[in-house]
Amino acid sequence: MRVAVTGSGGLIGGELVAELGRRGHEVTRLVRRPAGDSEASWDPAAGTIEAGKLEGHDAVVHLAGVGIGDHRWTDDHKKAVLDSRVQGTGLLARTLAGLSSPPQVFASGSAVGFYGYDSGDEVMTEASARGSGFLAEVVEAWEQAAAPAADAGIRLVTFRSGVVLTAKGGALKKQLLPFKAGIGGRLGSGRQWFSWISLEDEVAAILHLLSAADMKGPVNTTAPEPVTNAEFTATLARVLKRPAFMPVPTPALHALFGREMTKEMLLGGQRVVPTVLQSAGFSFAHPTLETALRDTLGR
């Protein structure tokens, strides 16, 4: 296959590009600088893209976007999060729709934030309605921006990722230091749900979506067994063979991250299951949290 990838310098994109290469596929990276070999230049904010370099590809995977949890949720950061997703996705979808030789499939990144932060213990599938909150609004606009590709007859898949676990970066890496020091603990009550997936399974799921011609629309890329924050805390501590007895109180989270970010990302959550992937027979390398943690942490 010839596959174009945005966000190839990120945690998921880097691993996806490497795996595509290992499997013998040809990759074109979309980059925000003058393009080199096997690259195409684009600038979502300016609305520019080297469309001709995307002709004749079999698939496009869109992973680019400002990190949601990289900073406190100031108005400027929230705007950057939204704009980076809507502008980039819209530009890419419209460009693909206008190609003479468009791809067969456009796999556009999304997130389980679609389901909101306050659904409690309700199990969320791809058929569940949009929830409430900033993240739910962002994801809805993000997915809608991809619609021009589907309107042009391209198979569109919006994969709603959970928290991707790897020791190489992201949420897990940020938590390793305090947990290794024996000062980790649950966040607030610990009852909030945590929908996760290993990096290996996230990449494998994306590749599965590219090759499964009958799959389209939203697909949850999460492990089949979500856990509560308390369960995550206890499991990580057990794998590291360290205690975890210092819960982080809500006022401390408010002081560190602000009320809105704390409410939605840290004390809220979603109990999401990968119904579509499981129905399609996808096999998870790490169906349980402990297997995922032991693998990525070498334990």
Closest CA to 274 of 127, 68, 113: 127
Return the percentage of the chain with pLDDT > 70, whole number.
Answer: 100
The first and second tokens of residue 153, run together, are 């007859």
Crossing angle of helices 229-240 and 289-296, in 10° steps, is: 40
Nearest alpha carbon to residue 162 among 4, 12, 8: 12
Prediction pTM value? 0.96
- Pair 229, 186: CB distance under 8 Å: yes
Q: What domains, with CATH codes, occur in the chain?
A: 2-296 (3.40.50.720)
141 band by pLDDT with thresholds 50, 70 and 90: very high
Separation in Å, CA 279 to CA 75, 214, 272, 276, 282: 40, 12, 15, 5, 8
Helix axes 229-240, 170-180, angle to 10 degrees: 60
Q: Residue 89: pLDDT band by 50, 70, 90 thresholds?
A: very high
Q: Which two tokens stand for residue 104?
A: 């067969």
Helix (H) or strand (E) holding 61: strand 59-62
Mean pLDDT of the chain: 96
- Beta strand pairing call for 48-49 and 26-31: unpaired
pLDDT digits (tens, 9 = 90+) for 46-83: 999 999 999 999 999 999 999 998 889 999 999 999 99
What pLDDT is recorded for position 245? 84
**Residue that the structure tokens 């693998």 belong to:** 295
- Determine the Cα–Cα distance for residues 165 and 162; give it in Å rounded to an integer: 9
